[in-house]
Chain A
Amino acid sequence: MKKRISCFLKLAACAAVFFIIADVKVSAQGLSFFQPQGGGSEKKRTGKVPTVINSDVMDIDVAKNIAIFTDNVKVDDEEMTITCKEMTIFFEDKKQDDKKDAEKKPASGDDTTPPEQSKQISRIICEENVVIIRKPSGDKGKDRGSRKHWRGMQIMMSRPAR
């Protein structure tokens, strides 16, 4: 009887050690052994996925740093999808410090690395039939209740969908 109990205890201890090690190792890779894997819900934001915008018509004013998209506008970002009738993007010059940092970076030859950019988005205005669908993010618990600060925090829906 004692032998059986000791054997059972050893087995349980081994199983516990295995599960602990497995969880630590897989968690270190950004996954949890005990949480469901796969599916978009566990996707972490990398910042390397570019934002793609499709529309019927577009106007760019380089001097004024404005891009206006008209008709069937669809924005596909890593974190959200926006559809609307008209969207205006305002760009601004990046800070000098940021520019210097970018210049210091050696060319990596990696195609995924975006080229040096001197402009960044300062404001986005979406008008008419605006629908914003936020994609599920990796750290759900942390995000819940917090306010996300996109660069498009200034997104204004002047005439939202009725």
Chain B
Amino acid sequence: MGFLDGKISFLMILASCVFAVFLLLPNAAAENDETSVILKVFKLPEYNKDTGALDYIVYGQEANNVGVIVNLKQLKVDWIGKDIKDVKGTVTTPSGIYDRSTKIIRGDEEVHFRSDAMNVDGVGFDADQKKQTIHIRSKVKVILRGNLMTDKENEAIMTQDKEGKK
């Protein structure tokens, strides 16, 4: 009897294992299934996992999500500084591909970067949201908001302008 009991218990364990595998399989299949999800006119804020602070916000007209890859149209990315009012830079482009695992957005079309230091236009880019870096591949044109003058020169020009207005 003891032998039989042991055999039954072994069979029960085996059956439960098989049942568990059957239960888990559909979930695993679902995870691998790359179903496409389309978002229209979206805003996607991303927070720092460690600090909980807002890192960047991705805006767009359309997002087609396939696994970790998101195809974006008319996208805009705001890189946030200390608080939400402190936007360090803004990247805009007609289309791009966002890899959610690496947090890198790539694009082959024209790209525009705006910050309080400069206006940048170019064609083709790779923007790393974690590091807040952007690589522009070609046809770069930058307009510096300031110029190469020193503060003294700037002050001198300002005072000249003021005197001229008077």
**Which residues does A use to contact B, with CB under 8 Å?**
45-47, 49-63, 65, 67, 69, 77-80, 91, 98, 114-121, 124, 149-153
Contacts and interface: CB of A to CB of B under 8 A. Distances in A.
Given A53-B141, A55-B140, A61 B148 contact: no
7 contacts: A47-B157, A50-B144, A53-B144, A61-B133, A114-B146, A116-B116, A119-B115
A98 B155 CA distance: 11
Q: Is the interface of B mostly helix, strand, loop or mixed?
A: strand
A153 to B, nearest CB: 7
B141 A62 contact: no
Given A63-B131, A149-B153, A58 B148 contact: no
Contacts of A78: 147
Interface residues of B, number: 36
Given A119-B115, A121-B144, A152-B148, 7 more contacts: A50-B145, A58-B136, A62-B88, A67-B142, A79-B149, A120-B146, A121-B148
B117 interface: yes
A75 to B, nearest CB: 8
